[in-house]
Structure 1
Amino acid sequence: MPTLTDTTRRTAARIAAAGYVALFVLGVFANFVVKQGIIDPVDAEATVVAIREQETLFRIGLTAFVVVFLIDIPVAWGLYVLFAPGGRARSLLVAWFRIAYTVFLGVGAVFMFLGLQIATGVTDLAPDVALLMFAAFDFAWYVGLIAFGVHLVLLGALIIRSRIAPRIVGVILAVAGSAYAVDTLVHVLVADYAAIADVMLAIVAIPSIVAELTFTVWLLLAGRRSSSVTAEDVRIPVAA
């Protein structure tokens, strides 16, 4: 029966670590440089003008979102394999919540593409419709971020329970996941989110950056050495 060997888990750690590094770089570029740098959520005309002037950059940013969507799939697999000794069913649940987030990001990328088509004059729709497509991207992503937040909370709990990684890593991930979930719910429940946007950004950004960097460093180290769990724990069946 197939088993998860220590070598397999080190490979999974390397894949997850490389994925996290790529996700960080691509995510920062796509979201902060392109999306937030070009799209004005309250001015449709200005957004359309900016997209037409920087269409190539916008398309590169959209491509980056699509690549993020693809990379998240092997990252979910890598984390499942790496943390399976802590409980195969629990590790699978963690992976599924990450996949759920990834699916919504893919849906959001479709809305972003439709907004691009409208903004560049491929259709006769008004600029306001393009802005609506970009708003739809945001909301699809927010829904996905709820799943991502649950993914981080469950991953943190799995780490704390299994001790495959240092417990502090699990705690930080759980805090970051809670911040993502709370921010998304606030987006839905609060009519004037812009009034508290700066506060919410700090609440989400600080723990998430610390968590992502800490976890990435641990994954890089885990990919270079044997697991701290015993060989008996590592060699668990892949199939039920």
Structure 2
Amino acid sequence: MTNLEKECSNQRTVAIAGGIAIIIMALAAGFSYGFVLEQIAIQGDTDATFQNLLSSEGLFIAGIAGWLVILLCDIVVAWSLYIVLQPLHKNLSLLAMLLRFAYAGILGIAILNLIIVTILINNRASFLTTDSFPVMANVFLIAFEMTWWIGLIIFGAHLLIVGYLAFQSDFIPKLVSILLWIAALAYMLIHAFYFFLPHWNAFTSVLEAVLTIPMVFGELGLGIWLLMKGGKSSDVRDKAAIK
């Protein structure tokens, strides 16, 4: 096997790993955020959230496990995209990887807030009054969400660069790059609104509902491309679309 063949084989393996990680991450996010957090955290109702935590502690812990899976998958995807896209523009690919690593680090900090909630649940009789526990648990749930919002703004910047590189290539479908751009702008706009303009939450929720499809299918499309075709073409090495 020539060096070129080995390089192509390695890139294909990395692309498959990235595609699988994106799909696993989407499934885990659907469970941990779309199901578990939505079931347990009742916005504006501290007592109901408290009761849900007590009655669904196992589900909440499973949700945390899902977030840890997402964190690991993000690291794999960041590395995979760098390997696949760096022939187009090494510095921009490196920046995209570092931004996704930064997002993963912020997500890790956010997850710590959920772990603290489980600690509070297990030790509430030791150092908390019945009245204070619901408030403290809710504070850490809010801290998780707000920390994650900051990370998602950075995640959007990462997708913006990936979408740009994808658009400049001649081997990634243009539809994927356009969806990535839309998703990138949606992530940055929506979560900047949630964090900096909380009194606009009703408007932001509507905006999020409208942009959910491109937000989901942007990266999912990239994941499917990585899984099916990523790293196959020698164009990845032989054609640098950006100088």
Instruction: Identify whether the pair has TM-score above 0.5, normalized to the shorter chain.
Output: yes
Report what 1:176 is aligned to: 183
Q: Paired residue for 1:112, among 108, 111, 114?
A: 114
CA contact (8 A) 2:193 2:201 kept: no
Counterpart selection for 2:86 from 84, 87, 94: 84
Which residue of structure 2 aligns with residue 134 of structure 1?
Answer: 141
Question: What's the CA shift string for 1:122-152, capped at 9, x where partnerless?
Answer: 4415311110100000011000001100011
Q: Tell me the residue number matched to 1:237.
A: none
Q: Percent identity?
A: 28
Unaligned runs of 5+ in 1: 235-240
Matches of 1:148 and 1:9, distance apart in 2: 23
Aligned partner of 1:189: which letter? F
Instruction: Please say if residues 98 and 148 of structure 1, whose CA atoms lie closer than 8 Å, have aligned partners that are also in contact.
Output: yes
How far did 1:190 drift? 2.1
* Aligned mates of 2:211, 2:28 — CA distance in 1: 19
Separation of aligned partners in 1, 2:45 and 2:237: 59
- State how far apart, in whole Å, the 1-side matches of 2:178 and 2:202 are: 30
2:235 to 223, 229, 234: 229
Question: Structure 1 residue 197: deviation in Å?
Answer: 4.2
Indicate the larger mover: 35-44 or 178-187.
35-44
Q: Are 2:66 and 1:64 equivalent residues in the alignment?
A: yes
Match of 2:51 in 1: 49
Partner AA of 1:130 in structure 2:
A
Residue 154 of structure 1 pairs with residue 161 of structure 2: yes
- Whether the aligned pair in 1 keeps the contact of 2:193 and 2:204 (CA below 8 Å) is no
CA RMSD of aligned residues (A): 2.1
TM-score normalised by L of structure 1: 0.89
How many pairs align? 232
Provide the TM-score with structure 2 as the length reference. 0.88
Tell me, which stretches of 5 or more residues in structure 2 are unaligned? none
The aligned counterpart of 1:98 is 100
Q: How does 1:188-227 map to 2 (within 5 A)?
A: 188-223=195-230, 226-227=232-233
Which one-letter code corresponds to 2:10 in the other structure? T
